[in-house]
Structure 1
Amino acid sequence: MTTSVTAQGAVSPPCPVCGRDETASFASVDGRDYWRCPGCAARFLDPRQHPARAEEYAAYLTHDNDPHDPRYRRFLSKLADPLLDRLPHHARGLDYGCGPGPALAAMLREAGHEVALYDPFFAPDPAPLADTYDFVTCTETAEHFHRPAEEFTRLRDLVRRGGWLALMTCFQTDDARFAGWHYRKDPTHVVFYREETFHHLAQAWGWTCEVPEKDVALMRRPAARDASA
């Protein structure tokens, strides 16, 4: 494995998260080039090196996300528990990027909430995307977004006033360890977020953002009518 600054003279792509035009070369690892955004602090793979859809799907089929696995449920409880503490009774939600084993949706339903499903590979019916919800969850999904700005705009618009967007992804914290980071080594992971990335998005939307657990961001849309939210 080799790690170096990306080739000088390479054209800087805009940030796929916040849209900033000027981004900086970050690293080259195993033939993959990464950039960083000085605005929202995201790190991302050069879009020209994104995996093909068939490659993504093949990788997702190897994931073992059994909704009845107690270890998997404990992992998801990092997001589920703080979200449940904030939801009203009988809320309506959407699990965005639910995967083949929608364990989080099952956990939230068991707590008395209604949860619709959407996943571009495993639950591709677009009908749930025409509605709005009291909460939208997105767990271990945002790191796969090829066009995160578009995806986050969609997620934002799915949340009703006063509602929650709950995200879980492994936050990138240590540039010095990026090359050997397990999260980077997954070929379907193409964008990496820092805690400040979600605060940046929330501020741009006029929302609030809190981080109740490591790798979990809870973003809330204001209940009061506001043109910016």
Structure 2
Amino acid sequence: MPPDSCILCTHSDVRHFYEDNSEHYAGNYYQCQRCRLIFATPEDRPSRDKEFARYETHENDPDDEGYRAFLGQLFQPMNELLEPESRGLDFGSGPGPTLHLMFEGEGHEMRIYDSFYDRDPSVFEETYDFITATEVVEHLFHPGKELDRLWSCLRPGGYLGIMTKIAEDDKDFFGDWHYRLDYTHVTFFTEKTFRWLADYWDATLNFPADRVIIFQKPYLENN
């Protein structure tokens, strides 16, 4: 059934974008005509048990230098922006939390949250100088709700760093794109989507690397 509205911006103009009945994935994807988000229909999202089974195959080891280098794509540009002893939250820290250790190694204070492995909602009752979400947003069923919650936890002038593959607004590209063939990937952000978010939040937006997006929350007017 077609969705009534966009799961990010709630706009009502959502149109069919792509259908896949291949052996890899069976389902329909829709695209919002305002924010340009592409997303799978609710009936094609994996169950929580199936999602967890997929995450259990991930080999995220804090001692793996290759994994640390992968996370470094976000860690390095974010760390360069931070004041000493900043306070951060790693959202979606996964089965082998690592990014928070990298920031702690630079003298920052960290908390972590993961809906499967570290489900502690008290983290959302606090505020942070920066929040990271590496390889997370493509899994979100309700990105509007989740991202607004993270944004509300940021202090004025704080940073939200996201790492995800950016979708192209093109059906031929999307059909052959390896990133969507992971069945836990159900929400895809185009560059236009991130620019819409920046306008919505009145945020500064930067793309410091191929799959890295950093928003800065505006300071209060009297600062």
- Does the pair score TM above 0.5? yes
1:114 aligns with 2:109: yes
Q: Which structure 1 residue ranges, 5 or more long, are not aligned? A: 1-9
The size of the alignment, in residue pairs, is: 217
Q: Which structure 2 residue ranges, 5 or more long, are not aligned? A: none
Q: Which position in structure 1 is the counterpart of 2:4?
A: 13
SS of the equivalent of 1:178 reads helix
Residue 12 of structure 1, CA deviation: 4.3
Q: Which position in structure 2 is the counterpart of 1:152?
A: 147
Q: Of 180, 197, 200, which residue of structure 1 is paired with 2:196?
A: 200
Q: Which position in structure 1 is the counterpart of 2:61?
A: 66
Q: CA RMSD in A?
A: 1.3
Distance 1:15 1:122 in 2: 28
Q: Which segment is superposed worse, 78-87 or 171-180?
A: 171-180
Distance 1:213 1:54, change over 3 A: same
1:213 aligns with 2:204: no
Distance 1:163 1:179, change over 3 A: same
Residues 98-132 of structure 1: per-residue CA shift (max 9 Å, x gap)? 00111111111111111101111100121211100
Residue identity in the other structure for 1:147 = H
Q: TM-score, normalised by structure 1?
A: 0.91
Identity between Structure 1 and Structure 2 (%): 39
Residue 224 of structure 1, CA deviation: 2.1
Bigger RCO (CA 8 Å, 6+ sep): 2
Distance 1:12 1:25 in 2: 9
Residues 38-61 of structure 1: per-residue CA shift (max 9 Å, x gap)? 211111101222111111111110
User: After the TM superposition, which parts of structure 1 deviate over 4 Å for at least 4 consecutive aligned residues?
Assistant: none
1:124 aligns with 2:119: yes
1:49 aligns with 2:40: no
